[in-house]
Structures are given as structure tokens and as C-alpha cells.
């Protein structure tokens, strides 16, 4: 059980790290992409602007 907790904590640190806002943005991007693709619409166009927006937001917050 202790090993499972360490693996979970390590996974959380790897995915979220110090920036939970970006991690939440990635999760939201994946969810929206899945919903759009599930509706039968091409969803390839969702990720590029989302990544650019998340990157710009992350740099803006880091520069403060």
C-alpha cells in the first residue's frame, strides 16, 4: 500500500508539478477535444490554439 501511495504521489508531481493551472488547462483541452470528436466533427484544430494559449498564460504568470 505504501508503494501505491508513492507511485500516486510521484505521478501527481509529474503531471501537475508546480503549475496546476496549466495541468487543468490540458485536462480541459483533452475533454473538449474528446467531446467534439465524439460528436463526429474533426477535432484536430482544438489542441494547437489551446497549447499556445496555455503557454502564453504560463509565461505571463511566470514573468510576474
Give the number of other CB atoms < 10 A from CB of residue 32: 14
Give the number of other CB atoms < 10 A from CB of residue 54: 19
Asked if pLDDT for residue 5 goes beyond 90, the answer is: no
Identify the H or E element spanning 60. helix 47-63
The alpha carbon of 56 is separated from its chain's Cα centroid by a whole number of angstroms, namely: 14
User: What is the Cα–Cα distance from 1 to 3, expressed in whole angstroms?
Assistant: 5
pTM of the prediction? 0.79
Delimit the domains of the chain by residue range: 18-63
User: What is the Cα–Cα distance from 38 to 34, expressed in whole angstroms?
Assistant: 6
pLDDT band at 59 (very low <50, low <70, confident <90, very high): very high
pLDDT on residue 1: 66
Amino acid at each position: 500500500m505504501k508503494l501505491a501511495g508513492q507511485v500516486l504521489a510521484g505521478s501527481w508531481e509529474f503531471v501537475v508539478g508546480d503549475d496546476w493551472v496549466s495541468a487543468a488547462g490540458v485536462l480541459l483541452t483533452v475533454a473538449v477535444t474528446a467531446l467534439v470528436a465524439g460528436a463526429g466533427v474533426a477535432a484536430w484544430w482544438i489542441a494547437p490554439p489551446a497549447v499556445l494559449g496555455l503557454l502564453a498564460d504560463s509565461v505571463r504568470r511566470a514573468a510576474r
